[in-house]
Amino acid sequence: MLETLRQPIETGEVVVARANAHVRYPCRFMLVAAANPCRCGHLSDPGRACPRAPGCGADYMSRISGPLMDRIDLRVEVPPVSFTDLDLPPPDEGTAQIAARVAAARALQQARYGGARCNAAAEGQVLDKVAAPDAEGRALLGRVADRFGLSARGYHRVLRVARTIADLDGSEGVRRPHVAEAVSFRLTSGEGS
């Protein structure tokens, strides 16, 4: 079932084939997925031990193919939350401030591309022009691509995320910190070691 999402994620359309006819439907969407780190869910829990670690997590996550994972832009590992962390004060930046930064970033993107396009839809030469990182960012991205074997698709997805992070930061250019943050969303803890 999950593998059938690969093409719609990539092309923004779904093709229904019946008898002698093929019909294409638009389907731009945002995929939000969640998974436990392993079958029992305790792989990264310091309070409980996964009885099959460390192989359990790799076996469990291998059910999601590499090509599908390559199409997921942001991967965030969420550790268990301790009781004391639940009692922490709220962050300094509230929902209203975050919403304002997102709206400003979207306005930048609409002005950049015209219409309703955003960084996620930028391709080819347009992406190369608007998301080209500075020299330090380019060097970092090159090292990451070599060390972790980023595909061309993965490389361009990192650029799109870095461009979005720069927009949220109010930066005209994509700098090394934006690339580093985008890479941090791309690599899982197993890949980053």
> pLDDT tens across 112-145, in order?
998 768 999 888 899 999 999 999 999 999 999 9
pTM comes to 0.86
Alpha-carbon distance 21 to 34, whole Å? 35
Give the CA distances from residue 57 to residues 51, 63, 88, 89, in Å, rounded to whole numbers and listed in that order: 11, 10, 30, 33
- Which one-letter DSSP state was computed for residue 89? P
Q: What pLDDT shows up at residue 193?
A: 34
Q: Is 120 exposed, middle or buried (0-12, 13-18, 19+ CB in 10 A)?
A: middle
- Which residues fall within 8 angstroms of residue 41, CB to CB, at 6 or more apart? none
**Residue 55: per-residue pLDDT:** 83
On the question of pLDDT at 18 being above 70, the answer is: yes
State the Cα–Cα distance between residues 193 and 187, nearest whole angstrom. Answer: 10
